[in-house]
Amino acid sequence: MKLLLDENLSRRLVPFLQEAYPESSQIALLDLQQASDLDVWRYAGEHDYVIVTQDADFYDLSLTRGVPPPVLWLRLGNVSKSWMLQVLLERSEEIRTAFETGITCVELRS
């Protein structure tokens, strides 16, 4: 499973995610920072990404558009990058299992 981090998530997390989530990236690293949410949605779906976000925009798209792509909605509050990374890594099996069972949007809360 590979993750596509929304632009509100740091691109600095990407190298640390590679072992648990190979080929993961971030919107700016793919030159999509000026793209609309719908364009990012389409790109993620075409390239088999799970969109990772902290806001409801992609969740809303999942309700109206379905999948792909699935959405990982981080509802962790105002946390540091290191805490966010820790959550993504420690809960990787839980995340993977949820998407494998057909869940289209996984909400992670602290």
Print the domain residue range for 51: 2-109
By the 8 A CB rule, do 85 and 14 touch? no
Tens digit of each residue's pLDDT (9 = 90 or more) over 14-70:
999 999 999 999 999 999 999 999 999 999 999 999 999 998 999 898 888 877 899
Domain count, the chain: 1
Local confidence band at 74 (pLDDT 50, 70, 90 cut-offs): very high
Predicted structure pTM score: 0.94
pLDDT for the residue 91:
95
Which residues are CB-neighbours of 1 under 8 A, at least 6 positions away? Answer: 21, 50, 95, 96, 99
